[in-house]
Amino acid sequence: MTNPEEAERFKDAGNKALQSGNITAAIENYTKAINADGTNHVYYSNRSAAYLKNGDGNNALEDALSTIAINPEFSKGYSRKGAALHSLKRYNDAIAAYEEGIAKFPNDEALKKGIEEVKRDKDGPPRGMGGMGMGGGNNPFGNQLLQKILLNPKTRPYLNDKEFMAKIQRLQSDPNSLVEMLSDPRVMEVLGMSLGAGMGDDDEDEVEPPPGKAWETLRKQQVPTTSCGASCDDSCGAGTKSADVAMKDEDDDDEDDVEDMTDQNPAERKRREDQVAATKCKDRGNELYKAKKFDEAIAAYDEAIALDPTNMTFANNKAAVYFTSRRWDECIEACLLAVEVGKANRAPYEERAKAYTRCAKAYQKKGDLENAIEMCRHAQLESYDKATERMMKNMELDKKKSDAAAYLDDGKAEEAKERGNEHFRNKNWGEAVLEYEEAAKRAPNNPAIRNNLAAALCKVMDFNGAKKNIEKAIELDPKYVKAWARKGDIEVLMKENHKALDSYKTGLGIDPSNAACKEGLRKVTTMINYGASTMTEEEKLERARHGMADPEIQSILQDPMMQQILKDFNENPQAANQAMANPAIRAKIEKLIASGVVQTG
């Protein structure tokens, strides 16, 4: 449940903290504001600014995306997005973000200034690349890297990905394009491997199949290079290394790993060995999962967790098995464990969001929509996703319906109605309204309760609310004569005499002896025929303006035939009188007179 007042207090506290330079406190307060009211785009925008000041471009970007998703017409959202991407050195993406904002807000100075700054940095000299030989030395993305990718069991499947291989090929010809690919963790991973860094944790979320015949992909996609690292034709013949040689080298993969580990201290060597063993357990679990051997798969993932408790992927895969086997409680427990491990070990926000989303789905399957919605909110705070947002909105709608259905109780509705009647007799109109509204929530399809509520709302001068409820009563029971009489009374109070005529006549059509409809029709007819003579000119104009606001009156006046007849009343009375012999035309003229648009006498 949202609490806008509390959210505003936290936002103000965050603003003060940010102005005083206490960025951590600012982020905490903005987060509390979002938890209190996650529908306000300003809170995400402010937190994005705080994250950016704190040097956290990834979180700044996530909040900027949330800002735009909630309110696409808020210009600062695009400024936040562009600034976050700029800080991450994703220059092309930052320019695109600013251009998207400028297309909507062409006069926004912040957007114009932001795009100028990005273009200036993008076109300036490359920074931070000297140590990697990007300025013209050896290219770390040469074919030696493709061989290393093939020989590593974790990266070998990348060779089957056309998008990844296209990036590698581009980097081989233009190493400086790396700045555009920093968002792809696979590129950064293989770059680290090329430069001699250790492999990172396995971020796999879903249960994936084992790698295919990666050497076939390498054979087809390898770009031959010379010993100098430059791209060349096959005709050169110098320094090329074929996939067949790479295949031969694959036999020495395990030996190479052991030799690398001999240079490490015993604790680090043990950690690396456990990570390798954990990955093998995970792969075995994946195979068992595919074979629908769920218990054995879970046991394999438990072995992986015991060997490497810092990798959230193993708990996440476990959760997937529990979900598939419809073990909702175990799935929830595994998802929350995955999130806890992910946060403790700085796993990607997207992976943590996936765990929360699966947790939400498990709660949904259990029928616990409240917790399911809460998990979706956590997922969105980690990494905004449109699909999760849609799922959350659908859950909120379903919860609203289920809560309303659970509240239904005819007995309690009757009790509330009787309390309302007592308050009405004692002229405690406000209390009567509250009791009738409670009764309507308990029994929304009871026309008598709606009729009583309409009467009470009239007493507190809420004529629009009264009309809405009486129309609902008639929708529930079109033969409910009391409701037609009440509708006519409300329309008289709203100065809609032409509508009141129809309501009273409809009621008398159902029950010709109904005293309330008879009396109402007599009074409104008298008002129409004689009331105009007692009105001031200003009152007549006000009445006519009110009538003109009615779409039915507007439709009558727009009819060319009716326009001619109204003209004939002044220029050709005989023709007008002949037209009045037609019952349909006569009814329309009477309606115009009753509304005050056409005045007689």
DSSP per-residue codes, 107-152: T-HHHHHHHHHHHHHHHS---S-GGGTTTSS--TTSHHHHHHHHHS
Residue 518 falls inside a structural domain: no
Please report the DSSP string for 458-504 in residue order. HHTT-HHHHHHHHHHHHHH-TT-HHHHHHHHHHHHHTT-HHHHHHHH
Q: Does 203 share its domain with 332?
A: no
Least confident of 47-51, 148-152, 552-556: 148-152
pLDDT at site 403: 84
Domain limit, last residue, from 123, 157, 185: 123
User: Tokens 């009538």 correspond to what residue?
Assistant: 547
Evaluate if residue 263 carries a pLDDT over 50: no
Least confident of 156-165, 349-358, 474-483: 156-165
Sorting pLDDT into bands at 50, 70 and 90, what band is 462?
very high
Assess if residue 367 is contained within a domain.
yes
Do the Cβ atoms of 171 and 118 come closer than 8 Å?
no
Contact assessment for residue 91 and residue 126, using Cβ atoms and an 8 Å cutoff: no
* 294 pLDDT higher than 60: yes
Question: Both tokens of residue 430?
Answer: 């406000």
Give me the mean pLDDT over the 565-582 stretch. Answer: 79
Cα separation, 244 vs 119, in Å, equals 45
Kindly state whether residue 492 falls inside one of the protein's structural domains.
Answer: no
CA gap 520, 515 in Å, rounded:
8
Q: How confident is the model at residue 287 (pLDDT cuts 50, 70, 90)?
A: very high
Of 209 and 368, the one with more pLDDT: 368
> Where residue 565 sits, what CATH number does that domain have?
1.10.260.100
Reduced to 3 states, what is the DSSP secondary structure of residue 276?
Answer: helix
**Do 287 and 389 have their domain in common?**
yes
Q: How many CB atoms lie within 10 A of CB 380?
A: 22
Return the structure tokens found at 454: 């309409």
Are residue 270 and residue 402 in the same domain, yes or no? Answer: yes
Q: Which of the listed ranges 216-230, 516-530, 571-585 does the model predict with the highest average pLDDT?
A: 516-530
Residues 25 and 101 placed together within one structural domain of the fold: yes
Position 401 scores a pLDDT of 86
CATH number at residue 36: 1.25.40.10
**β-strand partners of 225:** 231
For the chain, the domain total comes to: 4
The per-residue pLDDT for range 143-190, each reduced to its tens digit, is 567 767 776 777 878 877 878 887 887 777 667 677 677 777 887 777
Supply the pLDDT for residue 47: 94
Q: How many CB atoms lie within 10 A of CB 587?
A: 12
For residues 49 and 238, the model is more confident at 49
524 within a domain of the structure (yes/no): no
Whether 203 has a pLDDT exceeding 70, the answer reads no
Residue 547 is part of which domain span?
A: 537-601
Percent of the chain at pLDDT > 90 equals 46
Q: What is the pLDDT of residue 372?
A: 93
Most confident of 63-72, 169-178, 355-364, 551-560: 355-364
| Residue 261 pLDDT greater than 60, yes or no | no
Q: Do 159 and 69 reside in the same domain of the chain?
A: no
- Is 489 inside a domain boundary? no
Residues whose CB falls within 8 Å of the CB of residue 373, separated by 6 or more in sequence, listed in order = 360, 392, 395, 396, 399
The predicted pLDDT at position 143 comes to 56
- Of residues 100 and 542, more confidently modeled: 100
399 and 294 in one domain?
yes
Residues 237 and 176 in one domain: yes
Report residue 141's pLDDT band, with 50, 70 and 90 as the boundaries: low
271 and 241 in a common domain:
no
Same domain for 33 and 154: no
Token couple for 467: 């009309």
Residue 343 lies in a domain: yes
User: 20: Cβ–Cβ under 8 A, 6 or more apart, which residues?
Assistant: none
307's CB contacts (< 8 A; 6+ apart) are 274, 275, 277, 278, 281
List phi, psi (to 5°) of 214. Answer: -65, -30
**Does residue 102 belong to any structural domain of this protein?**
yes
Shared domain for 387 and 285, answered yes or no, is: yes
The answer to whether residue 428 scores a pLDDT higher than 70 is yes
According to the per-residue pLDDT averaged within each range, which of 223-227, 243-247, 514-518, 579-583 is highest? 514-518
Q: How confident is the model at residue 35 (pLDDT cuts 50, 70, 90)?
A: confident
DSSP 359-403: HHHHHHHHT-HHHHHHHHHHHHHHS--HHHHHHHHHHHHHHHHHH
The fraction of the chain above a pLDDT of 70, given in percent, is 79
Q: What count of other Cβ atoms lies within 10 Å of the Cβ of residue 109?
A: 8
Domain boundary among 348, 382, 407: 407
Confidence band for 196, pLDDT divided at 50, 70 and 90 = low
27 and 158 share a domain? Answer: no
Q: At what angle do helices 57-70 and 75-87 cross, to 10 degrees?
A: 160
Domain presence at residue 507: no
Q: What is the rounded average pLDDT of the residues 330-358? A: 92
265 C-beta neighbours (distance < 10 Å), count: 8
Same domain flag for 309 and 176: no
Is 50 exceeded by the pLDDT of residue 594? yes
Asked if pLDDT for residue 285 goes beyond 70, the answer is yes
Residue ending a domain, choose from 253, 277, 311: 253
| 251 touches 150 (CB < 8 A) | no
Q: Would residue 519 be called left, alpha or beta, if left means φ above 0 and alpha means ψ between -120 and 50 degrees?
A: alpha
The residues with which 231 forms a beta bridge, in sequence order, are 225
Q: For the chain, what is the mean pLDDT? A: 80
